[in-house]
Amino acid sequence: MALQPLVMGIPPVRSPRGPRRRRPAKLHGGKGYDYPYLRRWLRARHITPRIARRGIENSQRLGRHRWVVERTMSWLGGCRRLHRRYERKPEHFLAFTAIATSLINHRRLTN
Could you read off the pLDDT tens digit of each residue along the chain, which spans 111 residues?
688 888 888 887 777 777 777 778 888 887 888 899 999 999 999 899 988 788 776 656 666 666 666 777 788 877 776 666 667 788 888 888 888 889 888 988 987
What is the predicted pLDDT for the residue at 43? 94
Sorted by where each begins, the domain ranges of the chain are 3-61, 63-110
- Contact in structure between 28 and 65 (CB atoms under 8 Å): yes
Predicted confidence at residue 75, as pLDDT, reads: 81
Q: 21 by DSSP, 3-state: which?
A: strand
**What is the per-residue pLDDT for 36?**
92
Predicted confidence (pLDDT) per residue in 37-67, tens digit: 999 999 999 899 988 788 776 656 666 666 6
